[in-house]
Amino acid sequence: MLCVAFGAAAVFGRAGSAAAAAARVEGVAGGLVHLLHDQVVVPAVAHVVAVAEPVAGVIAVLASTGARRAELAGARREHYDPGERSLRIVGKGNKEREVYLTEESAVYVGAWLARTVWRTGPLFLPIDRWGIVARRHLTTKAVADTVNTARDAAGLPRLTAHDFRRTFIGELLDSGADLATAQALVGHANPTTTARYDRRPAATRRAAVARLHIPRPEDLEAP
């Protein structure tokens, strides 16, 4: 696992009201924790000290891309374009897709990459208790362990790597992204799967319909 994951405790501990920012979202199987991205994720990783840069990068990429654990664990340096803030990852069915990092997330990933000399190979690397970096991919368990440490430190009742994915989809749809765009970014084979994460209330849907224009009878009367 990432032995520097202890750094996440200090990071998420400073988030203060992280637990209060978590809310259960109805309509998705099993319920889920909705992490308020701008109020918890970004401020939390912003306080990471140098030794915890891998942790900041892992959390930032999860929050910024909605990547699955296996996708993040398998990400490679040569597939990351810092100029475009794009990352090519391999998803289910061995299908590749392009995901994009926020400006903040790119800073954390850049800081981590600057600590090592390799230009190719795994994007994130495991570090042992003596601070020695191993040039191999993280395991999916290492990704989960990092999130678990953050969850415990923040006092959240439940938080998994997949909750970042759910939140990412919800944030996209809340911001006005269409379903097809969200589906492409998260690599869902079926748009129905993406639609399950649409947490927009009925009022939002009603307002969307209200913006449509259908001529009234008097508008159609000949002059």
Q: 49 vs 43, 175, 197, CA distance in Å? A: 13, 31, 33
In angstroms, the first-to-last Cα distance of the chain is 76
Residues forming beta bridges with residue 127, ordered by sequence position:
133
Of the ranges 34-48, 54-68, 202-216, the best mean pLDDT one: 54-68
The predicted model gives 152-159 an average pLDDT of: 66
Which domain range does residue 54 map to?
A: 3-220
pLDDT for res 197: 85
Q: What is the pLDDT of residue 10?
A: 34
Contact partners, residue 127, CB within 8 Å, separation at least 6: 2, 3, 4, 54, 133, 134
Q: Give me the CATH number covering residue 214.
A: 1.10.443.10
The yes-or-no answer on residue 165 being catalytic is: yes
Q: What pLDDT, on a 0 to 100 scale, did the predictor assign at position 131?
A: 79
The question of whether 162 is a catalytic residue gets the answer yes
Point out the catalytic residue in the list 34, 37, 137, 188. 188
> What pLDDT is recorded for position 96?
96
95 is a catalytic site residue: no
Catalytic-role residue among 92, 95, 115, 136? 92
Mean pLDDT to the nearest integer, 34-62 = 59
30: pLDDT strictly greater than 80: no
Which residue of the set 69, 108, 137, 197 is catalytic?
197
pLDDT at residue 72 greater than cutoff 50:
yes
Domain total in the chain: 1
80 assigned to active site: no
Given the residues 68, 69, 137, 151, the one annotated as active site: 68
Q: For this structure, is 188 an active site residue?
A: yes
Give the Cα separation of 160 and 140 in Å (integer): 12
CA distances from 30 to 24, 88, 217 (A): 10, 31, 48
Neighbours of 94 (CB within 10 A): 6
Q: For residues 211 and 220, give the distance between their C-alpha atoms in angstroms, rounded to a whole number.
A: 19
151 is catalytic: no
